[in-house]
Structure 1
Amino acid sequence: MTQVFLGLGSNRQRRQHMQAGLRALHDRFASRQRPMKVARMYESAAVGFDGHDFYNTVVGFHTDLPLTALSEVCKQIERANGHPSSLPKYSPRTLDIDLLLYGDLVCAKPIQLPRPEVLFNAFVLWPLAELAPSYKHPETQQSFAEIWQNFNSEQVLKPIEFRYPALPYLITPESDKEAAF
């Protein structure tokens, strides 16, 4: 089983699409033995283009899917939520799911891992540091808590109140359950 972390974001019908994305990932990957854990929800300005603010979070879970199969599942969930793969990188999104880390894998293809944004976008790093503070970046060997503590950016990001879907194996910030990664 491989520990994976995914970044989720939406700036179009944000609540609806973030809840749908969490539900779809939960239904595919979570179980009593392997729950899915989610960070707080954050609101951030669009990066790279002028657009509505985004909702962002990070989820973590274990999977036995190979990297390419996991990537395809994420793309299927995006498409089911109105995100065609033909959109330019910097554009509005109904639901965007980015594979941030796949265990300790470092590679350039089929996708670049760890995802570079982990180190320079607050909307990825803060929820990742919250969700897995002691987990180490495969290249820098620093914990995500350390990276976040030393992070310096002008990016505006704030935690928001968010009603997570009521799912049996989803550990949310409001849950009284603890799951260490």
Structure 2
Amino acid sequence: MAVVYLGLGSNRDRSKHIRAGLRALHDTFASAAHPLRVSRVYESAAVGFDGHDFYNTVVEFRTDLSLQQVVQTCKAIEQAHGHPSNVPKYSPRTLDIDVLLYDDFICRQPIQLPRGEVLKNAFVLWPLAELAPALRHPETGISFAEHWQSYASEQRLKPLDFAFEPLPYLLTP
């Protein structure tokens, strides 16, 4: 089974869409043997455009699906929650789901893995370091906790006291 890490973000009706995204991922990927693990939810400023602040979190799960199947599933969940596939990269989002890591794969197709934003954006790196501190970045060989400790950016980020929906196979902080 592959271990997958996803980044979830929303800056439109944020709480509703983060909860809806987590429920959809839970219903698709979680089981008693393999629950969905979720970091805290963080609030961050929009990056790349002027817009409302985002809520972001990172999710971990195990799956037998291929990388391509996981990507297709995430895109279908986004679209089911009001995120059309033809919007510009830097624009408001109801729900954005990005595959960050799929095991220790390094590839450029069908998507870039590990995702470049993992080490660039605090709203990805901090929750990933929280969820999997000892996990090593497939390209650098450095743990995500170490990457977070040495992170230097002016990106504003704060953890939130977020009320997660009680789901049977959801492990939250």
Matches within 5 A, 1:82-101: 82-101=82-101
Letter in 1 for 2:43: E
**Residues of 2 paired with 1:23 and 1:94: CA distance?**
15
Matches within 5 A, 1:5-24: 5-24=5-24
Instruction: Give the length in aligned residue pairs.
Output: 173
1:130 paired residue number: 130
DSSP-derived class of the 1:99 partner? strand
Q: Any gaps of 5 or more consecutive residues in structure 2?
A: none
Kindly report the root-mean-square deviation, in angstroms, between the aligned alpha carbons of the 2 structures: 0.3
2:59 paired residue number: 59
Deviation at 1:69, TM superposition (A): 0.5
2:168 paired residue number: 168
Q: Does the alignment pair 1:105 with 2:97? A: no
1:69 paired residue number: 69
Deviation at 1:49, TM superposition (A): 0.0
**Residues of 2 paired with 1:47 and 1:18: CA distance?**
18
Deviation at 1:142, TM superposition (A): 0.4
**Residues of 1 paired with 2:33 and 2:160: CA distance?**
29
2:151 paired residue number: 151
1:176 paired residue number: none
**Residues of 2 paired with 1:142 and 1:59: CA distance?**
20
**Residues of 2 paired with 1:25 and 1:165: CA distance?**
13
Deviation at 1:121, TM superposition (A): 0.1
1:140 paired residue number: 140
DSSP-derived class of the 2:9 partner? strand
**Residues of 2 paired with 1:159 and 1:147: CA distance?**
18
Deviations 1:8-36 (A, max 9, x none): 00000000000000000000000000011
Deviations 1:37-64 (A, max 9, x none): 0000000000000000000000001111
Give the TM-score normalised by the residue count of structure 1: 0.95
Percent identical: 68
DSSP-derived class of the 2:23 partner? helix
Letter in 2 for 1:109: Q
